[in-house]
Amino acid sequence: MGNFSQHTHINIIANQNVWLEDSAIAQLQATAALAHIQAAVGLPDLHAGRGYPIGAAFFSTAHFYPALVGGDIGCGMALWQTDLKHHKISGSKLAKQLGNMDGVLPDNLLQDAANALGGLALQHLPLDFDSLHQSLGTIGGGNHFAELLQLDSLFVEQPHLDKSHLFLMVHSGSRGLGGEILRQHLNQFGHQGLAANSIEATKYWAQHNAALHYAHLNRLYIAKRMFKAWKTSASCVLDISHNHVVPFEWNGQAGFLHRKGAAPADQGWVMIPGSRGDYSYLVEPIGGEMALYSLAHGAGRKWARGDCQGRLAHKFKAQDLRQTQFGSTVVCGDKGLLYEEAPQAYKNIDAVIASLVDVGLCRLIARFKPVMTYKKGETPCC
């Protein structure tokens, strides 16, 4: 057998109010039992994924697992404070000003984007410059979004956060790049772990790091194109990836920390979004040893994507889902996605946040409520 699963530490951070599926816990245990994994943590947004759970962190020694990071390498959350004033303009008007954001960047950002991509190690990557250039600044599908927020409550006095301003939160990743890196890697090596410092580990590592960089630029250019459309400027509060593997020391051992839909607790403030119809929380991580220096990356799914339309269509028409309990506007031209990402499909964010706060993993800085959520254009882009 040769693995040490009987010694693996497994910790699940969730209070009794958090929805937790047995299938997600089974995936957490199965992944924790892989060779070389020493510790596993399920965050309160834990839910079942494709083979591996989402909302989880894993520490391994000597080897690491590209398959565990998954296809969206570098996916993460970014937050800006914009110069827009919340009382001046409605979510629906702001959505109209955006138009369609799904195609290539507007001309006035394309050259800027090309220059930014110059810093990428293209020789290591499976996609060429043109392909990366065309995808840059696009949100993508699934749970990705860009959302304008109103700062609803400040729990700690923060001179740099202004309640009269709107904030922009962007959740997106490395688009086709991360998926292609994983696909090519799986073709050659399958799901096995890679020995640290091996040739294949070194190659994956270079690609992984480039995907992290590309994903960061993608969120930046999504934000930039929106700021252009709104004729506003903004300052970045944070930009943090929640899908990655990094060298890490745990319990006195050198190894690797895999975060699979888990926000880092060692890189400053973290934004934890609720569903598009719920609050989002800005938190300050504290300590983190018990949770492998990781926090929830969102509310976490409660319903499988495939179940949503069937569960909701008898009660809600598509149009009903384009507005939330806060009166915020949802832009989503894809009817299937409108149902899959409905607030009802997600866990209660307050239970998720309380689970983290109760065990001392973070303190609250601010609460935000959605004004406008952009998923996909309502009108054709090209």
Which residues in this chain contact DNA in the complex, by CB under 7 A? 50, 54, 71-72, 75, 131, 134-135, 140-144, 172-173, 175-176, 179, 182
The separation between CA 379 and the C-alpha centre of its own chain, rounded to angstroms, equals 26
CB of 111 to DNA, least distance (A): 18
CB of 364 to DNA, least distance (A): 26
Interatomic CA distance for residues 38 and 58, integer angstroms: 8
* Beta pairing partners, 166: 150
Contact 277, 328 (CB under 8 A): yes
Nearer to DNA, 141 or 333 (CB): 141
Nearer to DNA, 81 or 135 (CB): 135
Nearest Cα to Cα of residue 112 among 90, 137, 95: 137
CB of 321 to DNA, least distance (A): 17
Instruction: Let me know how many helices (H) and strands (E) the chain has, helices first.
Output: 10, 17
CB of 180 to DNA, least distance (A): 7
Buried b (16+ CB within 10 A) or exposed e, 60-97: bbbbbbbbbbbbbbbbbbbbbbbebebeebebbebbee
Q: Which two tokens stand for residue 302?
A: 């409660």
Nearer to DNA, 61 or 174 (CB): 174
* Beta pairing partners, 10: 40
Nearer to DNA, 56 or 361 (CB): 56
Q: Which two tokens stand for residue 311?
A: 């569960």
Nearer to DNA, 302 or 367 (CB): 302
CB of 50 to DNA, least distance (A): 6
CB of 190 to DNA, least distance (A): 15
Nearer to DNA, 52 or 230 (CB): 52
Nearest Cα to Cα of residue 295 among 277, 276, 271: 271
Contact 74, 217 (CB under 8 A): no
Q: Which two tokens stand for residue 269?
A: 């403030």
Show Cβ contacts of residue 199 under 8 Å, excluding neighbours closer than 6 positions.
none
The bridge status of strand 165-172 relative to strand 253-260 is unpaired
Residue in 133, 185, 297, 314 annotated catalytic: 297
Our answer to whether residue 63 is catalytic in this structure is no
Nearer to DNA, 81 or 172 (CB): 172
Classify residue 129 by its DSSP letter: H
Nearer to DNA, 74 or 288 (CB): 74
CB of 336 to DNA, least distance (A): 9
* Beta pairing partners, 194: 64
Classify residue 123 by its DSSP letter: G
Greatest pairwise CA separation for the chain in angstroms:
64
Interatomic CA distance for residues 13 and 365, integer angstroms: 20
* CA distance to 14, 176, 218, per residue, from 239 (Å): 25, 20, 11
CB of 234 to DNA, least distance (A): 23
- The catalytic residues are 297
